[in-house]
Amino acid sequence: MGEVTMGDVPVQGEPLALDLVNTTFVRGGLRGRVVDALCEPEALHDWLAAHRTELGVTGLECPAGVSVGEPELRRFQELRQALREALTAETSGTTWPDAAVRHINRAAHGATRWRELSASAPTGSVEVWSTKDWATAALARVAESGVALLSGEQRDALRACRAPGCILFFVQSGPARQWCSSGCGNRVRVARHANRAKITVDDSG
């Protein structure tokens, strides 16, 4: 079906943890296939660049001239899987898997940050990280997002899309939002209409 890019991801603009998890999605509806928009280092570079504002620290996105390799990609893929397992458990009302919890926590405390006074800074303080490794710091910010979602104010609004074949997650912003995207909502409505039409035909026969 062609190359998958970040622009193909159906749902974007959710909290960091969900945006990472949602880079794996189903293309083609119920009879479609699972595809991965984060399957090569260049894709991770693009994802980090697109989320530099949410990451919140200048330089955390992979800057020009810094290589994103397979080790960094593998770390983000592993965190994505752990987050997916925890989110799946949360939205289905079961206990978070221990291994997923350990993995998320380990990523979250892989890099800490604090503010220090700085006479040279315009605001009088600067943010300092415990590591100079941008990938570790970025990974920690995404893991922190997952921790906040699974334990904070948005926990009750976490949703797994209920459209047949969909594997995406979202934070429900209001009662009117029932699906992860308008595409899923449209597919559900079409399927319902087709099912009603079939029942009518069966009943008339």
State whether the Cα torsion 168-172-177-182 is positive or negative. negative
What are the Cα distances from residue 109, in Å, to 21, 29, 84, 103, 141?
Answer: 20, 37, 19, 10, 9
The predicted model scores a pTM of 0.85
Q: Enumerate the domain spans of the chain.
A: 13-204
DSSP state of 7: G
DSSP string, 29-50: GGG-EEEES--SHHHHHHHHHH
Tell whether domain 13-204 is in CATH 2.170.190.11: no
Write out the two tokens for 187: 């597919």
**pLDDT per residue of the chain (205 residues) written in tens, 0 to 9:** 457 888 889 999 999 999 999 999 998 766 779 999 999 999 998 898 888 888 875 544 455 555 679 999 999 999 999 999 999 999 999 999 999 999 999 999 998 888 889 888 777 888 888 888 888 889 999 999 999 999 999 999 999 998 888 999 999 988 888 889 888 877 766 655 455 544 544 455 5
